[in-house]
Every structure is written in C-alpha cells, then in structure tokens.
Structure 1
C-alpha cells in the first residue's frame, strides 16, 4: 500500500513563501550532499559486487564486457568518479531546487513537455525513466510524505514526485552524468545504469526520513492528512522486507554514522524554542517580517526628520535597550569561554556552525525586545543563514566566524546603517574574513597562518568589543595588513615564473610578427621550394629576435628583412647578364649576414650544412644560366616541394590560431578574468584543489595559477582556461562581499529599492 497526500495547508503570500522555501531548499541540498558523500563508498562496493555477479552469469558477451569494464573502472578510478558524481549531483540539486520556485507552467515547459531535444537526449531521458521507475516504486512509502511537504513548501495544490528536488531520478541522473564527466567507458553507460537496483544504489530511505524530519521541525505541515491507495505491482521487494532479510544498506558503517550526525542535528533543532507556531508562524513570518523591517528601517534612516541640523537620522533612532544589550553581553562572554573548534581531516567530523540568532529570533527574550532590536536579530539571522550555506567557505572557518554573531548584532544595533552601508566597519570585517576564508585548505590545520589570524581576529572582537565600533576598523586594518604582507610574499615567489612567462609571451608575439612578415613576402608569389621551410622556421626565428631588439637596434630588424628579400630574389632565374652580375656582387654580403644570423640562433649541424650546400648549388645554377648542367635529382625536388607545402600549411595554421575570434561565452569569460580570482580546479588525476589567478601576462596569453602561498604554480593560455571552464574542470569561486549577497538573496527583486532607500510608498517597506 502507498500513501498519497490529500490536502495541504494554506500559505501566506508567494513572495515570503518563496524566499523561505529557497532557504530551506539550500539546507536540503547541503543535507543531501552530506548524505551522498558519506554513503558513496559503501554504495560503490555493493554495486561493484553486483556488477561482477551479473558479468559472471551473463549470457551476453557484450554486456558482460561492459559490466566488467564498469567493475574495474569503479575500482581503479573510484576517487575520480566520486568527485565527478558529487560535482554533478551538486549542479543537479541546485537546478532542481530552483525549478519548483518558478511558475508552474514555466517549470513544466522547462521540463521538456513542449521543447525540441535531439535524439541522444531523448535516449538519455528514456534510459533514466526506465531505471528510476522501479526505484521510485521501491521508495514510494518513504518519499510520499517528503513529496507532500515539498508541495506545501512550493504552494502546489497537487504535489507530484516530479517536483520533488531530491527524488531518486535526480541521483540517477547525477550518477550517469558523473560517469560521463569522468571520461570512463562510454560504451558501458547504458548497461551500467540498467544494472542499478534499489538494493545496490544509495539507501535513499535514510535521506528521505532525515529530510522529512527536518521539514517537520521547520514547521512544514507537521501533521499530514494522507489517504491510502493501492500501489502498482512493481515486482520489487518492499524496502522493509528487504532490510529484514538482508540487513539493509542502511546498516553500513558510514550510513549509520550519517544517521547519527543527522540525529544530532535534529536533537539540536528539538532543543530550540520554535514556539510551536508552525511553518507559517515561524520561518515564513521571520523572513517576511525581516523584509518589512528592512523597508521600514530604510525609510526611517532616509526620511528628512528636520532641517538645519547636522545630526543624522540614524543618531535619532531609539538606542538599544540596556537590558537587552546586557543579555547580549552575557552571550558574548559565553562565546569567548567556549572551546575552539577542532580541525580534523575526516570530512565526517567537520563541525557544523550554529545560527544562534535563528534560535534567538523565536525566543521570548527577543520577542519582548523593542521592534528595532527584534528586527535586527531576525534579519541578521537570515544573513548568517546565507553565510553558513556558502559552500566556498570551509566548515571549520564557518564555525569560527559564527562566533561573531552576537558582536555583529550589537554593532548593527549601535549603528542601524549596517544593512545599507557596505562601509560599515563590522560588515566590512565579516566580508573580509569570509572572503579570505575561501583560500584556506582544511588539510593546513589550525597552525596555518591564515586560520590563526582569522581566529585571532574573532577572539579580539569577542574579548574587546563593547560599544566602540572603531575596534572593527582597527581589526580590519590589522587583518588586511596581514593579507597584504602575505601577498607580498606570494608576489616575490611567483616573480621568476612571471618574468619567464612574460619573456616567453614577448617572444611568442615576436614570432607572430615574424609570421606576418614572412607571409607578406610569400603571398601571391612563387617561392623556391628550398626557401619556404627555411623562411617559415629558421629565418622566422631570426626575425623574431630582431623584432625583440628593434627599439635598441632598429638596424638589425631592417637588415633581417632586407636579407630575406635579397635571398628570395637571389634564387630566381636571371635572364640578363646585368642581373647575374648584380647577384654575384650581392652574394658575399648576403651570405655573411645569413651566417651571422643563423649563428645567433644556434642553428648548426647537418641540417644547416645540407641547406647551405643546396643554396650554393642553386646560386651556381642561377649565375651560370645557359650553361649545360647536370639535371636536378627528381626525388630531391619532390621532397623539397613536399616540405615547402607542409611549411606553408603550418604557417597558415599558426596565423589562423592567432587571428581566431572568441567562440562562446566561456571564451568571453576567460577573456574577462582578473587577478586574484579564485577557482576550484580538477586536475588530470581527478584531484580537486583551490587555486587563484595570481598573474596575467600583458597580452593575456599566459595566466599563472597558484595556491594561496604562491606554490604549485601552473600556466595556461586564455583558450586553455576557456576549455577548462567549458568542461567544468575550472569553476570560479564567488568572493563578492557576502553580506551584500545575503541581503540580495533575502530581498530578491526588491533589494535595490530597499537597500538604496527607495521603497515604494504604500508597500510594506513604507508603512510605519
């Protein structure tokens, strides 16, 4: 028997619902990613065992080879596939989390109901549907309540599995895309997907149970009214029966650990004062009132209260309640006494930051506070929700930064311009710490100078801040001085590589100039087959060196070009005695210049000797025009003509590569990158590291990437970077001011109006 939803609870306005739905969806995505990471290894172990058994009993040699290939690749390339799968799952979950927030008709259209897709994409959709159908049926009882709560969250009158952002098909799609992105055996893709069963895939009932309880704690339809309908006969053993007979995948060590971590998070939720108000009266109310509060505060701060007085509107607002400030001081002192978070290598043990302001917002102490203070708490709770959901900040440093919640709240109450002024000292410090945090790697540990400096800064705030905002300015200057000194050290480390790259770029530019010069001489002319390879290779290098020195020795460039012109002329037939006499007079000087130039580029050996011999033979033939000579070797002529043709093609290919236009948005993105942009980079071996763009050459043909300390350097061209962006191996990390991003996410389309003090009259932001 299966359960389906019958009714749903009404929701307040769409704007508030969607804002809070987005916050909860971000949490669901994070929770799902943690689950997938914790249970991945055990899932692959079960799947590999199943693949081996299938191959061993298969009557089809083709399928058996595909299953064995997948078995071996999942063993040898397991880490590569894991990273690809998790990256794909993150992108898929992010996409699915946004889809239900669009209008229903738009979501259905985007799902492909009326769109045109190519045959390959249709085949993929059919394959995913075929594989997901039995897994959907297997988890129907577990997923039905979650689908219903998601429907309440999105305001759907008729909740459907297709609108559940964590349905089984999402994990299967990420599994298929991860396999393809990892570059594993493409021929085995279909048979690999078809081999997946509910018993060999992720134990999704564990995830669905945890997510359902999370939504219940947030007040999303805590009491479901469900009716029973007969389930389809899927031919699949029910989950409960399977676990009774097999022990179940949920009993694996990592799955149990993930269960334990989730239960601890749920216990933490249980301990908070949610006020029993339910979803509409708590989470949604907090979000909507936060937005209304910002609108009111914006108008209050910008309303001309009087004229002829220099005192600001902010100074005229009510001061924080002393008793409430005393309560905050006690919380700040408690945070100062708390032990520091332990940084460990095991991802399962990474600490989770707690949003104290979120719990405070629903406490009686805050509910009894003045409206300005209460509103400040609610909005800052939303801001720190965003900070803690930012995946680019390591969890360990989120915990450290989380200890700033109370001091920042006090600072925002002292100066109410916190939400509207990016130059607010407390806000700038939070932005600076968050931006710097993306550069820290957990494997560096607590002894890393960056971690230590961030922790030291937070400790100073906790111990010293009472009401003087200048402390934030002082600490910000100190922290930025630390960052500047670190940057100076990095600049010194990368200087030799940057200088080498700049020199190589200059020489590459000189070679391009030489190519154009040679091309202009060869275009539309019959050039002797002997000269074409020489001019497009050795003499090209001579011209490039001359061009590099053109400012200091312009005569060298002029002589190199003149010598090239003389050489081309010298091998052409001379019809008159005067031309032949002129050739004889020119040859000594021309040959001397050629030899000096070739010595300078160190072209020696048999190849140069052979060229010189052939050049002498050609000049002799031209000077002795009309005198009977031994016919040229036809085999030699044929070889020279082939070499000349290849040299011309190589020249045109180089010119085409240089003069090519930008191909797509990734080329444009690469062209617009600037120094100090941070990236997550997936190396050839599948490992993922965080690097920054530390140096860009003047012509943007060399982009130097390093880690935070300036080591592990590697250089790519702009086109290489575009290719890496296109394939997802290089992903920019957002380091824009995080408070502004959080407020923008909270306010949505109204952000500009409210934060710039132009809330529309008559709306919630304009009512007092």
Structure 2
C-alpha cells in the first residue's frame, strides 16, 4: 500500500505504525484476507485513502494521528474493536474534510458561473453596440465611449434583467438613439437633453463620478459627439483609469478564435459536451498522471473548471483545448472503477507472488 501512494502523504507515518498490529491481526484471524469488512483492513484502507485523497497537511492533526497509531500498537491486535475505534476517528476526519471540499468546490463553481454570465452579457452588449454603430456610423470617438462607458450600463442591465426584459430593450433603443444623434454633423441640431439626462443617470448608477458621467453624456447626446467642456484626451485618460464592470485588474485580452478541429478532436469535443458535471479525468501531459474532476463547464463560453478531490481549483481551461488534449492522448475520461486502495494493493501483492513462483495465471473467480 505504501508503494501505491506517495511517501510524503500525511498518513504515511501512521501506515508505518500499523504494519506490526495489522500483521498480528492477519496472523490471528485467517478471515483477514477474505473479509472485506475486517476492521483491521477497514482501518488500513481508511488511513491510506485519507492521506492519498482527502487529507492534506492542513487537514491532519499530527497529535491525533500519533495517538491513534499508539493506541493501535498498544491495544490487543486480536480485538477487532481496537481497529474499529481507530477507524471511526479517521472516518470522522475524512467526513469533515469531504464537507470542506464540497463547500470549497461550490464556491469555485459559483464564481465560475458568475464570470460566465458576465462574459455572456458582455458579448451580447458588444454585439448590440456593433449592430447599431454599423447602421448609423457615429464618429469613432463616440464608438469608443459606447464600448468603454455605455457598455457597462448595458452589461449590468443584461445581467440583472435578461434578453427579453423591457430594461434591456430600452438600453438597445437608447444605443440606437445615441448612434443616430451623434452621426449627425456637428451643429446641425441641438443636443438631445432628455437622452443626455438618461445617459448621465445610468452611468452614475454603475459607479461613474457625476462629472465623468456628465462629460460622457454630453458627447453621446450631441450631434458629432462634440463637447466644449472636456477634451477628448482628458476624457479618454480618465476613463482608462477606471476598472470596467466586473474587473479587478487589467482587462484580459480577448480569446482568439479556435482553429478548426480535425475529426478526432471534434469527436472528443462532442464527447465533452455530453459529459455530466463531476466526471473524472486523467492528465498525463507532464509525464506523470494526475486525476482531476470536471466540476463545471459552459456550452456558451466553452469555459471549463477542474478541481481536485479536496475541492481546490486546479485548472481552468477551454473545452476546445481539452478536446485537443484528449485527441493527443494527454487527457482521458476515467471510467473504470479501480476499487479500494487496499484491494488494489492486495491484487498487486498476489501478482508479485505469482511472478516469483512462475504462475502468472489468474485464479478462477
């Protein structure tokens, strides 16, 4: 069993302490090797799997592990209750760790879903602005203001209200009106004061200072996008210093369009779209296999989130990239059930013994 897990796992020390007591229990009770539920086997498996899967250094109480090991060593190896009591304490630790993992994973999934909704809202906002700018052809600086400032208003409306809401339709109508007004030659008509007031109020609601909101509103409601009060350079500089809606740092570069997938990659991609959340994957791109769970993915944005057994976020990728890894043999869906760690160790031991004796045939079930 020690060969089937890393030597640096937190439970490695307790496994070493269990060697003699478990050996005595096996010698005293022939049923040890045939009874899956034997308390000594249950304890051995619980300790090994807890260290290999659930319990990290931050989860382990060294004094508890030392006390459990000492209590088993000092107890009667022929008394199953000694092993059962120690196993129950280990299981309590495992259940607590599993609960923490569930909570951690839930937080990561909720955050990923929130980012995904924001991404979808931004895409719809960009499409709405692009369509109306294509129709009316407002000045370039007005288009910049639409994408840098007014887009925050539209994105928030999309997030809160959705596609079919009256609020979103009003945003689209206001965007069309902005493009229509500013596409007119400078001085050809008075500013649309009602539109300007609506724009200013909306920008203040998404966090713009009153003077910034007023400056943007004047340019978005005046023919030609003109404003004598604030220069373009000054306004651009002030807007660049602002964090966009939902951002906490530099704006990420837009993702490049994926290259066309070949037949194998497309088959893997289709397989991914049919997988349930929680499917396990084995990655081998760095030479050593590691198992991660596909906790969540989005068909709309292609985002995928992987966690480890402790619920910790370990990988964020795109389904397209994952499909290419699968086609290249660097990732695969884990479908087989390898059973408990102690059973795998027992089968490995039997296999080694058969090799030593020259008998490589599996016994009949």
Report if the CA contact (8 A) 1:674-1:693 is conserved.
no
2:335 corresponds in structure 1 to none
Tell me if structure 1 keeps the 8 A contact 2:21–2:77: no
Mapping for residues 521-600 of structure 1, pairs under 5 Å: 521-522=129-130, 525=134, 526=137, 528-550=139-161, 554-573=165-184, 587-600=192-205
Whether contact under 8 Å (1:507, 1:548) holds in the other structure is no
Matched residue SS, 2:223: helix
CA offsets 1:434-472 (integer angstroms, 9 cap, x no match): 12234454xx8xxx853333344444544144264x765
Instruction: Say if 2:40 is the partner of 1:432.
Output: no
Deviation string 1:41-66 (CA, Å, 9 cap, x unpaired) is xxxxxxxxxxxxxxxxxxxxxxxxxx
| 2-structure distance, mates of 1:521, 1:535 | 7
Give the Cα–Cα distance (whole angstroms) in 1 for the partners of residues 127 and 218 of structure 2: 25
The 2-side partners of 1:479 and 1:405 are apart by: 16
The structure-2 alpha-carbon separation of the partners of 1:451 and 1:534, relative to structure 1 and needing over 3 Å to count, comes to same
Q: What TM-score comes out, normalization by structure 2 length?
A: 0.56
Structure 1 residues 538, 548: CA separation in 2 closer, same or farther (over 3 Å shift)?
same
Matched residue, 1:393: 9
1:170-319 correspondence to structure 2 within 5 Å: none
CA distance change for structure 1 residues 607 and 519 in 2, over 3 Å: closer, same or farther?
Answer: same
Write the distance in 2 (CA, Å) between the matches of 1:505 and 1:610: 35
**Residue by residue, what CA displacement relative to the aligned partner does 1:251-277 show, whole Å, maximum 9, x if unpaired?**
xxxxxxxxxxxxxxxxxxxxxxxxxxx
What corresponds to 1:742 in structure 2? 345
Using a 3 Å threshold, how does the CA distance of structure 1 residues 467 and 615 change in structure 2: closer, same or farther? closer
> Which residue is 1:718 aligned to?
316
Decide which of 466, 485, 490 is 2:78's aligned counterpart. Answer: 466
1:509 aligned partner: 117
2:256 to 650, 656, 672: 656
Cα distance 1:385–1:603, how it changes in 2: closer, same or farther (>3 A)? closer
**Equivalent in the alignment of 1:452:** 63
Q: Distance in 1 between matches of 2:111 and 2:252?
A: 24
Shift of 1:535: 2.8
1:131-186 Cα shifts (integer Å, max 9, x gaps):
xxxxxxxxxxxxxxxxxxxxxxxxxxxxxxxxxxxxxxxxxxxxxxxxxxxxxxxx
Cα contact 2:45–2:341 (8 A) shared by 1: yes
Within the alignment, does 1:498 sit opposite 2:92 as a pair? no
Change (3 A) 1:569 1:518: farther
Pick from 204, 208, 223: which aligns with 1:603? 208
Give 3-state SS (helix, strand or coil) of 2:18's partner. helix
Show CA shifts across 1:61-104 (max 9, x none). Answer: xxxxxxxxxxxxxxxxxxxxxxxxxxxxxxxxxxxxxxxxxxxx
Instruction: Say if 1:432 and 1:675 are closer, same or farther in 2 by CA, change over 3 A.
Output: farther
1:704-738 Cα deviation digits (max 9, x unpaired) = 889x8x9xx9x676049x99xx9xxxxxxxx9843
| Preserved contact between residue 511 and residue 544 of structure 1 (Cα < 8 Å) | no
> Is the Cα–Cα contact under 8 Å of residues 397 and 451 in structure 1 kept in the other structure?
no
Structure 1 residue 529: Cα displacement: 0.9
Measured at CA, do residues 703 and 472 of structure 1 come closer, stay the same or move farther in structure 2, by a change above 3 Å?
Answer: same
1:510 deviates by: 1.8
User: 1:397, 1:437 within 8 Å by CA — same for their partners in 2?
Assistant: no
Q: Distance in 1 between matches of 2:19 and 2:277?
A: 31
Alpha-carbon distance between aligned partners in 2 of 1:426 and 1:661, rounded to the nearest angstrom: 55
SS at match of 2:177: helix
Report the CA distance shift for 1:591/1:396 in structure 2 as closer, same or farther (over 3 A).
same
* Residue matched to 1:614: 219
Q: Distance in 1 between matches of 2:3 and 2:113?
A: 43
1:434 match: secondary structure: helix
SS at match of 1:656: coil
SS of residue paired to 2:220? helix
The answer to whether the aligner puts 1:480 opposite 2:91 as a matched pair is yes
Q: Is the 8 A contact 1:694 1:705 kept in 2?
A: yes
**Contact 2:18 2:69 (C-alpha < 8 Å) held by counterparts:** yes
Contact 2:295 2:306 in 1 (8 A): yes
1:411 deviates by 7.4
2:333 aligns to what?
Answer: none
Bigger helix share: 1
Which aligned pairs between 1:21-36 and structure 2 lie closer than 5 A?
none
What is the DSSP-based 3-state SS (H/G/I as helix, E as strand, rest coil) of the residue aligned with 2:140?
Answer: coil
Q: Distance in 2 between matches of 1:537 and 1:386?
A: 57
Unaligned runs of 5+ in 1: 1-383, 575-579, 622-632, 644-649, 678-691, 727-734, 752-761
Tell me, yes or no, if the aligned pair for 1:536 and 1:651 is still in contact at 8 Å: no
- 8 A Cα contact 2:196 2:221, kept in partner: no
In structure 2, distance between residues paired with 1:474 and 1:434: 16
The 1:402/1:570 distance shift into structure 2, 3 A limit, reads: farther
- SS of the aligned residue for 1:718 comes to strand
| 1:413 to 2:13 alignment | no
Per the alignment, in what secondary structure is the counterpart of residue 256 of structure 2? helix
